[in-house]
Structure 1
Amino acid sequence: MIRVGLGYDKHVLTEGRKLMLGGVEIPFEKGEAGHSDGDVLLHAITDALLGASGLGDIGSYFPPSEAKWKDADSKLLLKTCWEDVKKAGWHLGNMDCVIALERPKFLPYRQQVIESIAGVLGVEPSQIFVKAKTGEKLGDIGQGRAVEVWATCLLEK
């Protein structure tokens, strides 16, 4: 059996926060506003995996209304959900992600981010791909006010 999952997340960029993408801190003057550490890439990946497995979504696992998740490490959130997905008998075929971000340029950090995600999931880096697109100066993304991510995964049982 195979299933496809789609995850999505968007966060406002604000001063005074770290820009976290895939568990890697990217040097920049702004970071994601969010209840946890705001890592939109890991949040979208978590939702893709949970959706494909039929186990829920990140909000049902870690409600933002609960103070214990304030500033939580998104790698830990992903790892917790991934363990449940594996216990349900699923394994990852591949994961493909798109980051919409005007600045900073993502390419210099891509391999480090891929390896970080693969490390959290315990899979080969070749099973993960991440690419970035700009907003071409249009909308929240293009004006540098937000970062947005789409993640798809293929789970096999």
Structure 2
Amino acid sequence: MTDLPRTGIGVDVHAWAPEGDSRALWLGCLEWPGERGIEGHSDGDVAAHAACNALLSAAGLGDLGAVFGTGRPELAGASGSRLLEHVASLLQAQGWTIGNVAVQVVAPRPKIGPRRGEMEAAMSAALGGAAVSVSAATTDSLGFVGRVEGLAGLATALVARS
């Protein structure tokens, strides 16, 4: 049987940090100065985390919790780019090549459009040059995102045997 390309889907959700918290917002492997940060064991980068989940799913290697887990103190505050780099190396070691990753950030803020190209470049660099596309959506004030309780990242990935 021929190895066909495989797709995966990933989701990540984090709550906003309390008002006045000094935690920085990291999203798409970029720091967003002046924006409220989010809670999480690592840097809470929902775009990078969703991409990791999609890649792991496509390669049949589990998910972010199984690979990294919150019980690992050495990963406290770990950057999304570090996690993406590690996932890319896991895939490569298992004989997978990343075709592309598409990520959508679901949040009313920050505005993704002005930094979309930077996000795509930063995430691509962490994945060894793989193609990354980023988009954004709001929920028209519905749900936890609309109530400004948190934000979400959704991603799909395509991988193929090397």
Asked if residue 52 in structure 1 is aligned to residue 55 in structure 2, the reply is no
* Cα deviations by residue, 1:4-58 (Å, 9 ceiling, x for unpaired): 0101000001242211111101234311100001111111111111111111211
Structure 1, unmatched stretches of 5+, are none
Q: Which residue of 1 aligns with 2:26?
A: 20
Asked if residue 31 in structure 1 is aligned to residue 37 in structure 2, the reply is yes
8 A Cα contact 1:103 1:144, kept in partner:
no
Q: Which residue of 2 aligns with 1:82?
A: 88
Percent identity of equivalent pairs: 35
The residue type equivalent to 1:128 in the other structure is: V
1:105, CA displacement in angstroms?
Answer: 1.1
Q: Which residue of 2 aligns with 1:147?
A: 151
CA distance in 1, matches of 2:57, 2:37: 27
CA distance in 2, matches of 1:65, 1:109: 33
Q: TM-score, with normalisation over the residues of structure 1?
A: 0.93
Aligned residue pairs, count: 155
Secondary structure (helix, strand or coil) at the match of 2:37 reads strand
Q: Which residue of 2 aligns with 1:134?
A: 138
CA distance in 2, matches of 1:93, 1:62: 23
Q: TM-score, with normalisation over the residues of structure 2?
A: 0.90
Q: Which residue of 2 aligns with 1:117?
A: 123
The residue type equivalent to 1:12 in the other structure is: A
8 A Cα contact 2:59 2:159, kept in partner:
yes
Q: CA RMSD in A?
A: 1.3
Structure richer in strand, relative to its length: 1
8 A Cα contact 1:102 1:143, kept in partner:
no
The residue type equivalent to 2:115 in the other structure is: Y
Q: Which residue of 2 aligns with 1:10?
A: 13
Structure 2, unmatched stretches of 5+, are none
